Amino acid sequence: MAADDDRPDQINTNLLPSAQFNKLERVANTFRETFVLPFRQTPRPVYYHRKFARVPTIDQCDISDEVCKYEATEQHERDKKVDMFKIKILRKRLTHCNWYWGANKYEKCQTEREQYQDSAVNYHLRYGELGRTSELYEYYMKQKHRMIWLRRRQEAGDATAAYTD
């Protein structure tokens, strides 16, 4: 008890700096809300989060509607890029799995290998053999001819003929 009697009364020394800080904070917040925020532009979304609205495909466009044809071509180019990047991601996964498992890669990486091969075959069926500078009509005609060919195979009795894309 003697130690408690020897200690002087504690004065709240944090009261004065806290009050001064609150005044400064109020002034800064008022300035920010009055002058800074009204002139600030709304934040733009990050480019890789941008979502494009789907546009009509080339078969839904009128013959004389050039804007619709242009939008369909741009949509097709975006779809092609997305499919290409999917293939690249699957290839990286397969390469990483093969590197990680080494000698056991044929057993452990079977699912990655099947996913990559299926995606590569579908990419080739859709975009292959036409070249880089092909027009959208050529892709559309390739798809149409493939569907006709599959329909004829189904009519001939081939049970494995199915359009999977």
Q: What is the pLDDT of residue 147?
A: 87
Distance between CA atoms of residues 2 and 89, nearest Å = 75
Cβ contact 119:94 at 8 Å: no
What pTM, to 2 d.p., does this model score? 0.60
Nearest by Cα to 139 from 150, 153, 124: 124
| Backbone angles phi and psi of 10, in degrees to 5 | -75, 130
Q: What is the pLDDT of residue 36?
A: 83
Residue type, 109: C
Q: What is the pLDDT of residue 44?
A: 65
- The list of the chain residues with pLDDT below 50 reads none
Nearest by Cα to 92 from 76, 112, 107, 72: 112
Residue 100: HSE in the Cβ half-sphere, 13 Å Cα cutoff: 10
Residue type, 53: A
Q: What is the pLDDT of residue 164?
A: 62
Whose structure tokens read 């809300």?
Answer: 33
Q: What is the pLDDT of residue 121?
A: 93
| Backbone angles phi and psi of 5, in degrees to 5 | -70, -30
Residue pLDDT, tens place only, 126-160 = 888 887 777 888 888 888 888 898 889 888 888 77
Q: If you average pLDDT over every residue of the chain, what do you get?
A: 83
Cβ contact 94:109 at 8 Å: yes
Phi-psi region of 100 (alpha: psi -120 to 50; beta: other; left: phi over 0): alpha
